[in-house]
Amino acid sequence: MSSSAPTTEIAVLTLKPDTPIEDISTPAGQIFNQMLNSIQSQSGFQRQYWGRQLENPNHLVFSIDWDSISSHRSWMSSPSYRQFASDISPLLDLSSSNIIHLDFQPHPPDTPRSAPVTEFAFFALPASASASQKSALEAAVTDLADLCVGKTEGGEAAGGEEGGEKRPCATGYATGWVVEPMEHHAGTDEAAISLGAMVGWASKDDHTAVRQSHAFAQKVQPVREMVLPAEKTRAMYFVAFTRWAAGKGVEV
For the segment 206-211, the average pLDDT, to the nearest whole number, is 95
Looking at the chain, the whole-number percentage of residues with pLDDT higher than 90 is 77
Q: Which amino acid is at 204?
A: K
User: What Cα–Cα distance (Å) separates residue 173 from each residue in 84, 163, 196?
Assistant: 32, 25, 11
Q: How many other CB atoms sit within 10 Å of the CB of residue 181?
A: 13
Looking at the chain, the whole-number percentage of residues with pLDDT higher than 70 is 87
Weakest-pLDDT range from 2-11, 19-28, 76-85, 109-118: 2-11
Q: How many other CB atoms sit within 10 Å of the CB of residue 128?
A: 12
CB under 8 Å to 78, separation ≥6 — which residues?
Answer: none
For the segment 62-86, the average pLDDT, to the nearest whole number, is 95
Nearest to 199 by CA among 111, 139, 102, 108: 111
pTM above 0.75, yes or no: yes
Give the pLDDT score at 182. Answer: 85
| Cα 114 from Cα 112, distance rounded (Å) | 5
| Cα 199 from Cα 203, distance rounded (Å) | 11
Residue range 26-45, pLDDT digits in tens: 999 999 999 999 999 999 99
Domains of the chain: 7-109+239-244 (3.30.70.100), 117-237 (3.30.70.100)
Residues 17, 245, 10, 58: what is their CA dihedral angle, to the nearest 10 degrees?
A: 10
First to last CA, the chain: 32
Give the pLDDT score at 249. Answer: 46
Give the pLDDT score at 95. Answer: 83
* pLDDT of 251 over the 50 cut: no
In whole numbers, what is the pLDDT of the chain averaged over residues? Answer: 89
What length does the chain have? 252
Give the pLDDT score at 229. Answer: 85
Give the pLDDT score at 252. Answer: 36
